[in-house]
Structure 1
């Protein structure tokens, strides 16, 4: 039997470098690279993408933590010193996404950039980063589902190293990290394939399609996880938010299409040409 993978990649003196951090950092770098390649084609300078990432990353981390703390407030109210102890675990991707969108909107307003277009450029790459980032959860043996059987996992035709990494606490677990990763990877491939088709997407519809795709898949994956935050017994926070986001995104697509004056994604930046 294979042993569980070591979550620590290497040590530098007394500093332990975890695979989780390496994977997340790699995911961000790949996403930034792809967004920077797309931005000039749509009339947005590459520098704006770098600036956005530098602003968004710290606020995304804060947002991810605050989101988690808010829904676990009884514990953190009793242990306030743990609020900043992010190294003990407890962040939520929805919190990071919400904080990042706010930063994007503020930055774009200050820099006179079309918010919807910038979000469209970033959305598919964010989905890819999420797909890659879930493998950090895999290395930490977290974000998994309920107990299952070895026969079930082998029936999925998974590589043996994934199967053995899903042996957690003496029991095999549903690889929900993998389900979400694959769902996001398919969504990334679809959006990257079709967003350059003429007259397919109005500005804003790439990011709204991302929201609908991600929230739809997350609703079902969240239902299989064992580490969910709950609004109340039986109602998971991420499932409720997934429903709200899916309906809101679909409604925005319908509403903006009816306006008739929304530019096409391929029209690029109507406010400022690339310098």
Structure 2
């Protein structure tokens, strides 16, 4: 019976020579919903409604490029022998840490040119970024990637998962941990936490630093279950190293900005 399980089709639509994959559509959906959320909040915080439309027009292509370059750099042994695959983003293989680095640098340059506080900009963006990440993980689901180690069907059924998820986790004759789902749920919960913290009126920048800590904690533990991790050494997973680094940087910045007086303004102040 299990041998007849067919994976979901990765192709959403074919228009002549153009093939549209679910992976790209889902990531695009996450970006659009994140943008909608940021635009709504930016108007409340006294920014033009076009602010985030403008920054996203730059940040999205930069993020895709930096995410791919980050991934390719750490998988160079494969891509140096398969250069034609370097641009095949639709097959998967983008690293979220690379995307975030590209996006943060874009936001820093954009805020300086527009005369907007970088910390105000990223505070508003934080829930949107996490929402995009939560939705984007379902692109990995469609590609049957970013999964964990082997498990039994009984284990997946014990998690009360619907059949379409369980069946999609059946890959090459075995079932695997749906780590995409673990991270997605953690991120959705984080969106709720960040939206709630808006009302707490934290010091400027601290909502964004909370995002860094929240995401990094979840990613560290989920990454430990995955079987496709980018590796720094034989025993060090790059994503886990980056997660620990980002937690440390966020905590140091939080303390430093409080003690130095750089975080005097609050989130709800214009």
Aligned equivalents of 1:107, 1:144: Cα separation in 2: 35
Aligned equivalents of 1:76, 1:208: Cα separation in 2: 34
Gaps of 5+ in 1: 269-275
1:80-114 alpha-carbon deviations (Å, 9 max, x no partner): 44433434432101000000000000010011000
Alignment counterpart, residue 116 of structure 1, candidates 100, 119, 123 = 119
Q: Secondary structure at the match of 1:143?
A: coil
Taking structure 1 as reference, are residues 52 and 73 closer, same or farther at Cα in structure 2, changes over 3 Å only? Answer: same
Gaps of 5+ in 2: none
Taking structure 1 as reference, are residues 75 and 10 closer, same or farther at Cα in structure 2, changes over 3 Å only? Answer: closer
TM-score w.r.t. length of structure 2: 0.94
Aligned equivalents of 1:213, 1:135: Cα separation in 2: 20
What count of residue pairs does the alignment treat as equivalent? 266
The answer to whether residue 119 in structure 2 is matched with residue 105 in structure 1 is: no
Partner of 1:141: 144
1:149-168 alpha-carbon deviations (Å, 9 max, x no partner): 01110111111111111001
Aligned-pair Cα RMSD in Å: 1.4
Partner of 1:48: 51
Alignment counterpart, residue 31 of structure 1, candidates 34, 39, 50 = 34
Of structures 1 and 2, the one with the larger relative CO (CA 8 A, separation 6+) is: 1
Aligned equivalents of 2:19, 2:81: Cα separation in 1: 30
Taking structure 1 as reference, are residues 220 and 18 closer, same or farther at Cα in structure 2, changes over 3 Å only? Answer: same
Aligned equivalents of 1:261, 1:63: Cα separation in 2: 30
Q: What are the residue-to-residue correspondences of 1:70-89 with 2, within 5 Å?
A: 70-89=73-92
Q: Secondary structure at the match of 2:221?
A: helix
The answer to whether residue 198 in structure 2 is matched with residue 171 in structure 1 is: no
Partner of 2:206: 205
The answer to whether residue 218 in structure 2 is matched with residue 217 in structure 1 is: yes
Partner of 2:267: 265
Partner of 2:233: 232
Taking structure 1 as reference, are residues 77 and 3 closer, same or farther at Cα in structure 2, changes over 3 Å only? Answer: closer
1:121-177 alpha-carbon deviations (Å, 9 max, x no partner): 011111011101111111111110111001110111111111111001110000000
1:27-68 alpha-carbon deviations (Å, 9 max, x no partner): 111100010000011121111100100000111011101111
Q: Secondary structure at the match of 2:9?
A: coil
Aligned equivalents of 1:136, 1:61: Cα separation in 2: 14
Partner of 1:126: 129
Report if aligned partners of 2:27, 2:135 keep a CA contact under 8 Å in 1: yes
Aligned equivalents of 2:17, 2:81: Cα separation in 1: 32
